[in-house]
Amino acid sequence: MEKLKKRWEISKNWQLLHPILGALLVMLTSYTITRRFLHLLGLNNTIWEWIFTSVVSLGLYLVMVRFFLWCFKKLENKWKVTYKWEMIAIFIVFAITGSLAGKLAGPLTEWIGLGRDDVHDFLYWTARILLIFPIYQVILIVVGWLFGQYKFFWEFEKKMLSRMGLGFLFR
């Protein structure tokens, strides 16, 4: 445990929440991807189901952890954070925000009358994708605040929107 605390610059026990939550979310993601792949192959409800799920989930988990550690190294100098554990919090915020924005865009599209059954697929998907953008912007700030990273995400928002020509929103 001390090695983990030293590597991620954790000084208080509550900060352990971030690497533990990060590991659990990567596990859940690898399991979910594996289950989707399992259904595509038609291997569900067979004797191979649990073997396939266990082996592929573990392999995918290891690949994803390596990828995220590589991303941490690449972004460590670019993102100015005080402690390394904050990088994990930032990755978690991005994951939650992206997933939540994608999930909320569907019901919102239905609510404004552009449901999948009501309009052509092209219009439905265009509206849904366009709705994801503002939803994402708001949720990013809120979830970032919940994870104690409000300052980072506020600066991130201003930089991103100004690069898109929407910097006038912050003046």
Give the domain ranges of the chain.
Answer: 1-76, 79-171
Q: Please tell me the distance from the alpha carbon of residue 56 to that of residue 108, in angstroms, as a whole number.
A: 35
**Long-range Cβ contacts of 80-85 (<8 Å, 24+ apart):** 81/152, 83/8, 83/9, 83/10, 83/11, 83/15, 84/7, 84/8, 84/9, 85/8, 85/9, 85/10, 85/15, 85/18, 85/19
* Whole-structure pTM value: 0.80
Asked whether residue 119 carries a pLDDT value surpassing 90, the answer given is no
49-79 pLDDT, tens digit per residue, is 888 889 999 999 999 999 999 998 888 888 8
The model's pLDDT over 72-89, given as tens digits with 9 standing for 90+, comes to 888 888 888 888 888 899
- Which residue from 143, 155, 141, 149 is spatially nearest to 15, judged by alpha carbons? 149
What average pLDDT does the chain have? 87
